[in-house]
Amino acid sequence: MIEAIDVLEQARRDLGLSVDDLWYRYFALGGMSAALEVEAILYGALLTDEHNRDVLAVALNERFSELGRDHPLAYSDDEGLPDPVV
């Protein structure tokens, strides 16, 4: 899932969101990881499960939509998403 983490971090940067802003959006959607854990996920220091990755992707895709852009991040049930690293 290393590629997926890189994609999430790149999207966060493209949107100009701070890690704290992303964490707030993630938490509002029901994400249960602490802000420090989300930061570690984004930087590839912590692997996460599909659910947490999907909640982060939803938070980012919602921001893309708010800005009138498409939702470019895939979810775990979408085809083409890299398999998780075990």
CA distance 50 to 11: 17
Q: Which residues contact 68 (CB under 8 A, 6 or more apart)?
A: none
Per-residue pLDDT of the chain (86 residues), as tens digits, is 455 447 999 999 999 999 999 999 999 999 999 999 999 999 999 999 999 999 999 999 999 999 999 878 999 887 655 554 43
The full set of domain ranges for the chain reads 2-66
Q: Which residues contact 82 (CB under 8 A, 6 or more apart)?
A: 1, 2, 3, 4
CA distance 9 to 78: 19
- What pTM was estimated for this model as a whole? 0.83
CA distance 80 to 58: 17
